[in-house]
Chain A
Amino acid sequence: MTRYSALSLLSQGVRGHRGWRPAWAKTHRPKPAYDAVIVGGGGHGLATAYYLAKTHGLSRVAVLEKGWIGGGNTGRNTTAVRSNYFYPESVALYDLALRLYEGLSKELNYNIMLSQRGMLIAAHTPAQMEICARIANAMQLNGVDGHLMTAAEAKARIPLLNQTRDARFALMGGVWQGRAGVARHDAVAWGYARAASALGVDIIENCTVTGIETQAGAVCGVQTNLGPIRTGRLGLAAAGATPGLAAMVGASLPIHTYALQAFVSEPVKPMLDTVLLYLGTGTYVSQSDKGELVFGGGLDRVPTHGQRGNLPAQETVVSGLLEMFPAFAQLKLLRQWAGVVDVVPDSSPVIGPLGPKGMFVNCGWGTGGFKAIPAGGWLLAHLLATGTHHTISRPFDIDRFTTGRLIDEAAGSGIAH
């Protein structure tokens, strides 16, 4: 692997950039057996493979991706990273991800373009302000940066916000997390793929799992369109496709699949330097480095596996954005798309063993999986390598639905899921 540096850029520059090698090695035929197989070549699956090789020293690891790497929700989200959650279990999980993100460009030798520009959850009523104060207090008690922001501070931060007398939602303030921000989503997938590949991980695209083989209650391999692969350790990190994989061994998950849409406008000059979630409209928005406005909102309310959005959700999100920023009405939309998200009743992920011995899942991230990629990979790798939970993933085991210890972040943090 060529190390990326200012020097390598300079030396390639004087040679017309003709000497760059592919960032990772494509494997077209899987080997007959691996120490661990991960199904799903998105951020979570690739990060799992990287930490398995790097932290746990497993050398024979394969990532099976039915399409192309990073082509699912990793490449379809609105790139926000944050850890402004309510429950201690959630903060431990999402802040592990944020801390790993903070060092990731250096760790992977790949610029993930992390920009910690801060995020405001904006409130418009006294009741919402009380919820915001509750979140800010919880964040501080959990040792994460965050504070309650006044209306004056918020207006100074985002001067373009509609605060005329006829604005539907007057700004009262909100919760601010300064370490939140955005990262280049494709770069996260590509960076993990490159680093994992350099450690010997096989990344196999266009490889669909068609069956899971078990023997005496333990995983012994998978069937794929490229032939059978033997393995005793299987990790599933396939978001909305995970229930279908689990069904191959008769296991079920507490997951419904919905389409979540995202939108990008034409590029304009810099005018929004934070990530903003408006509780009034449920729309969130940031501006990319290229100048495009990247925004989204709530789920389409129709369970689906099709990666397309419906019109009512588009109308809600776009009209919400225009209520917040009337000036944006002049912009054209460049693109609109959808990803299939795996939504769990308590809006927290499912991480842990499922079904036969040796099989583990990392799914149920719903609308918020991108921000958690390094933690999801870290924790699934720990499970695959040791067979036991990391203390951070233990509360997210599927057994919480039997014991009743749900981690209900949808209600607890006031986040639009």
Chain B
Amino acid sequence: MQQFPCPFCGLREETEFHFAAEAGKPRPEPAAQVSADRWAAYLYLSAAPKGEAHEIWVHRSCGEFFLMTRNTETRAVLATQALPGRAGE
């Protein structure tokens, strides 16, 4: 089984983690001026990159969301870091 490094708990088994979203998608604001197209793109569209990917994952055991840089072809984990404002290890 593969292990992912949680920035708070260290190496844990992959089954403890859940993929949340691709990173780097700012929520469009203010809501009243956001068109349906932009909102749909924010909600649904993704890049599904082949190779290096920047993703937000959650470690379900500690409940923390964090950033993970992975290779989606080899499954190698390149880096993980806590979200801004959250203290990691």
Contact = CB atoms under 8 A, between A and B. Distances in A.
Interface of A: 240-241, 243-244, 247, 252-257, 301-306, 310-312, 342, 345, 401-403
Contacts of B61: none
Nearest to B18: A301
A303 B72 contact: yes
Given A312-B1, A312-B14, A252 B46 contact: yes
16 contacts: A244-B49, A247-B47, A252-B47, A253-B46, A257-B48, A257-B72, A302-B2, A302-B19, A302-B75, A303-B48, A304-B75, A305-B48, A305-B51, A306-B72, A310-B1, A402-B40
Nearest to B39: A402
A72 to B, nearest CB: 14
B37 interface: yes
Contacts of B51: 305
Given A244-B50, A306-B73, 12 more contacts: A244-B48, A247-B47, A252-B45, A254-B45, A256-B46, A304-B72, A305-B50, A306-B72, A312-B15, A345-B44, A401-B40, A402-B37
A401 B37 CA distance: 9
A403 B49 CA distance: 26
Contacts of A244: 48-50
Interface residues of B, number: 26
Contacts of A247: 47
B15 A256 contact: no
Contacts of B47: 243, 247, 252
Given A301-B19, A312-B14, A401-B43, A255 B75 contact: no
A254 B18 contact: no
Contacts of B13: 312
Contact of A305 (B2, B36, B40, B73): B73
A303 B19 contact: yes
A240 B53 CA distance: 15
Contacts of B18: 301
Contact of B73 (A256, A302, A304, A401): A304
